[in-house]
Amino acid sequence: GAVVSQHPSWVICKSGTSVKIECRSLDFQATTMFWYRQFPKQSLMLMATSNEGSKATYEQGVEKDKFLINHASLTLSTLTVTSAHPEDSSFYICSARDPSGVPYEQYFGPGTRLTVT
Amino acid sequence: RKEVEQDPGPFNVPEGATVAFNCTYSNSASQSFFWYRQDCRKEPKLLMSVYSSGNEDGRFTAQLNRASQYISLLIRDSKLSDSATYLCVVNMNRGSTLGRLYFGRGTQLTVWP
């Protein structure tokens, strides 16, 4: 099946700093990638949909100036958490859709665990 | 009301037991339905898609009732390795976003020896 990688797998940063998370589709070209956030014992919540070559579409309540998304190529999307605060500590997961694959199926990256101290 | 509702459990069952999970969804325009499995501190992985006619994959059986907007997952002959959180997932097109997935909170299953 299709493979999606994320980097880093975990990161600890100080409050006020910015963190960049990369999401790559390794064996297919993903025109659409999704960014999710999951707090402990909660469901995955979609933050934004990232389309290659265009601006991301953010879900209601997600600050686009705080969570910067760049989808510069068909295999790479990045999420930058700017001026991170402890409440941003969470599990961030990306997914990608293979346009030549099963309709509506998304392939998930292994996630990035962010801890802001 | 949440798009997808699940009983969070936890369900604690002995090996060999049969266990069933239920899920309801709120939007009748939902198009595709899935069960994902998520292990602790890992990403979700697709377990199976759910079709109106019902479908089976080994020990796992999934059912969809569109009229009641209800999805189920049955696990027979539970194994220790089945211990995980099971996520009910619904796909809808929403605005310009094709194939947007909505996740339930997940139902936690622990299988004990």
pLDDT for the residue numbered A1: 67
Q: Residue B98 has what pLDDT?
A: 63
Report pLDDT for B16: 97
Asked if residue B10 has a cis previous peptide bond (ω within 30° of 0), the answer is: yes
pLDDT means over runs of 10, chain B (113 residues): 86 97 89 91 91 89 93 97 95 68 93 96
Residue closest to A58 by CA, chosen among B29, B96, B31: B96
Token pair for B73: 């997952």
pLDDT band at A106 (very low <50, low <70, confident <90, very high): confident
Of B43, B46, B101, the CB nearest to A109: B43
Mean pLDDT of A7-12: 97
Contacting residues of A for B39, CB less than 8 Å apart: none
How many Cβ atoms from other residues are within 10 Å of residue A84's Cβ? 22
What is chain A's mean pLDDT, rounded? Answer: 92
In chain B, what residues touch A42 (CB-CB under 8 Å)?
Answer: 105
Higher confidence at residue B82 or residue A31?
Answer: B82
* pLDDT above 80 (res A32): yes
Q: Which pLDDT belongs to residue A40?
A: 87
Distance from CA of A14 to the nearest CA of B (A): 22
Distance between B17 CA and the closest CA of chain A, angstroms:
25
